[in-house]
Amino acid sequence: TWRMDSFVEHSIEEIRKKVGNGKVLCALSGGVDSSVAAVMLSKAIGSQLTCVFVDHGLLRKDEGDEVEEVFGPNGPYELNFIRVNAQERYYTKLAGVTEPEAKRKIIGEEFIRVFEEEAKKIGAVDFLVQGTIYPDVVESGLGGESAVIKSHHNVGGLPDYVDFKEIIEPLRNLFKDEVRKAGLEMGIPEKLVFRQPFPGPGLGIRIIGEVTGEKVKIVQDADAIYREEVDKAAKEYEQQNGEAPAWMPNQYFAALTNMRSVGVMGDERTYDYAVALRAVNTIDFMTAEAAQIPFEVLQKVMSRIINEVKGVNRVFYDLTSKPPGTIEFE
Ligand code: XMP
């Protein structure tokens, strides 16, 4: 719409005025908000922008490479892109840790350490970008003038520890659907703009109990199959009916339970993990219902996971509403 192109144009102008020839640093997660913010900055100030993308080894299958394709040197945008492959570091820190909040804390703190190290290499920057959107501002109990100052402590969890002068939050007046519109307006691929939410701690909270590289691989492969089949079924439905199916989940993913059970494969007894499939319909993610994905789609997913993912011999579908359940498993 005209309002969105003028918003984008106006924001780009404002950023140019504010930044001048300063250096800008951005933590890029590959999520919608930080991606749209990064592209806006790139359009405004090009290679005065540096984006740091931390691959914590808890991303979905191929996600690190997908982010690099868009934002890396072979992608369409002008910026400095730094990918930090911190997988092994994270797995080492997480070894033996089973308590969900302890896992979250380690993952969050390690992110800060990694980002801090990269920021030190870059040296003093003038501005730090945050992909804060309006609901984040409201949720953190802010709003009004003081928000700009407080938000870098509360929202997004960054940074007293990075040497910068000022924060830039180009999306802080936008709701999520407006962020997506701005993204489309700037030509960001739909796949990225309509990405489903993915938690900061990533697969770390979709592996119940201890996280290991081996378990990450299992959940990545199962999750990729699940999303592929759900997307395919939804697309077919849409082609036939001209609209998305009512069951189309707002969030859907596979998780690895910490349970092993006996199964049989050929003539062999197996003793392997159970994967749980989660899919919810929700408006605000505060309450949710299990999505009524057609049974034959779930059966196909089950059969592919068991046949294609080594270490899994059982698949569950989670029927739990929120409340009393949560969307994630930890
Ligand atoms: P729950 O599990 O609380 O999830 O019903 C509600 C929504 O929040 C996301 N979520 C998180 N996002 N860090 C995040 O950035 C987290 O620690 C976290 N925990 C849950 C979840 O994916 C869902 O969209």
Report which of 218, 184, 191, 185 is spatially closest to residue 31, judged by C-alpha positions.
191
199 domain residue, yes or no: no
323 domain residue, yes or no: no
Contact residues for 76 (Cβ-Cβ < 8 A; gap 6+): 70, 187
Residue 150: per-residue pLDDT: 33
Q: Is residue 34's pLDDT more than 90? A: yes
Q: Where residue 268 sits, what CATH number does that domain have? A: 3.30.300.10
Q: Are residues 55 and 160 in the same domain?
A: yes
Is 287 near ligand 1, meaning CB less than 6 Å away?
Answer: no
Q: Are residues 188 and 215 in the same domain?
A: no
Best probe residue, ligand 1, of 106, 285, 286, 321 (max atoms within 8 Å of C-beta): 285
Q: Are residues 187 and 265 in the same domain?
A: no
Give distance in angstroms: CA of 2 to centre of ligand 1: 33
Residue 137: per-residue pLDDT: 86
Q: Are residues 172 and 221 in the same domain?
A: no
Span 288-322, pLDDT tens digits = 999 999 999 999 999 999 999 999 999 999 999 99
Residue 148: per-residue pLDDT: 39
Mean pLDDT rounded to a whole number for the chain: 93
Is 104 near ligand 1, meaning CB less than 6 Å away?
Answer: yes
322 domain residue, yes or no: no
> For the chain, what percent of residues have pLDDT higher than 70?
93
Report which of 128, 176, 184 is spatially closest to residue 156, judged by C-alpha positions.
128
Q: Are residues 52 and 187 in the same domain?
A: yes
Exposure string over 38-70, b if 16+ CB within 10 A, otherwise e: bbbbbbbbeebbbbbbbbbbbbbbebbebbbeb
Residue owning tokens 């933590």: 27
Backbone angles phi, psi at 104, to 5 degrees: -55, -45
Best probe residue, ligand 1, of 327, 329, 330 (max atoms within 8 Å of C-beta): 327
Span 261-281, pLDDT tens digits = 999 999 999 999 999 999 999
Q: Distance (Å, rounded) from C-alpha 37 to C-alpha 225?
A: 30
328 domain residue, yes or no: no
For residue 92, the enclosing domain spans 2-193
276 domain residue, yes or no: yes
Residue 323: per-residue pLDDT: 97
Residue 142: per-residue pLDDT: 57
Q: Is residue 102's pLDDT more than 60? A: yes
Span 168-223, pLDDT tens digits = 999 999 999 999 999 999 999 999 999 999 999 999 999 999 999 999 999 999 99
Q: Distance (Å, rounded) from C-alpha 75 to C-alpha 88?
A: 27
Q: Are residues 179 and 249 in the same domain?
A: no
Q: Is residue 3's pLDDT more than 90? A: no
Is 204 near ligand 1, meaning CB less than 6 Å away?
Answer: no
Contact 52, 68 (CB under 8 A): no
Mind giving me the DSSP string for 100-123?
Answer: HHHHHHHHHHHHHHHHHHHHHHH-
Residue 159: per-residue pLDDT: 65
Q: Distance (Å, rounded) from C-alpha 14 to C-alpha 20?
A: 10
**Confidence class of residue 138 from pLDDT cuts 50, 70 and 90?**
confident
314: tokens are: 């059982």
Q: Looking at per-residue confidence, does 145 or 291 come out higher?
A: 291
Q: Where residue 49 sits, what CATH number does that domain have? A: 3.40.50.620
Span 8-19, pLDDT tens digits = 999 999 999 999
Residue 190: per-residue pLDDT: 92
Mind giving me the DSSP string for 244-272?
Answer: --TT--SEEEEEEEEEEEEEEETTEEEEE
Boundary (domain end) residue, out of 139, 158, 193: 193
**Confidence class of residue 139 from pLDDT cuts 50, 70 and 90?**
confident
Give distance in angstroms: CA of 280 to centre of ligand 1: 13
Q: Are residues 82 and 171 in the same domain?
A: yes
Q: Are residues 241 and 150 in the same domain?
A: no
Report which of 309, 297, 308 is spatially closest to residue 273, judged by C-alpha positions.
309
325 domain residue, yes or no: no
Is 183 annotated among the ligand-binding residues?
Answer: no
Peptide bond into 76 cis (omega under 30): no
Q: Compute CA 240 distance to the chain's CA centroid, rounded to the nearest angstrom.
A: 31
Amino acid at 196: Q
Residue 146: per-residue pLDDT: 41
The DSSP call for residue 288 is B
Q: Compute CA 141 distance to the chain's CA centroid, rounded to the nearest angstrom.
A: 23
Residue 163: per-residue pLDDT: 85
> For the chain, what percent of residues have pLDDT higher than 90?
88
Is 197 near ligand 1, meaning CB less than 6 Å away?
Answer: yes
Maximum CA extent, the chain: 70
Span 149-174, pLDDT tens digits = 333 333 455 567 788 999 999 999 99
Residue 74: per-residue pLDDT: 96
Q: Are residues 96 and 143 in the same domain?
A: yes
Q: Residue ranges of the alpha helices (H) in the chain?
A: 2-19, 32-45, 63-71, 87-94, 100-122, 134-139, 147-154, 176-185, 190-193, 213-241, 295-308
Q: Are residues 235 and 183 in the same domain?
A: no
Give distance in angstroms: CA of 135 to centre of ligand 1: 14
Report which of 180, 219, 221 is spatially closest to residue 197, judged by C-alpha positions.
180
The DSSP call for residue 199 is -
Q: Are residues 210 and 187 in the same domain?
A: no
Q: Distance (Å, rounded) from C-alpha 131 to C-alpha 33?
A: 5
Q: Are residues 166 and 231 in the same domain?
A: no
Boundary (domain end) residue, out of 193, 217, 232: 193
Number of independent structural domains in the chain: 2
Boundary (domain end) residue, out of 148, 165, 193: 193
Contact 54, 90 (CB under 8 A): no
146 domain residue, yes or no: yes
329 domain residue, yes or no: no
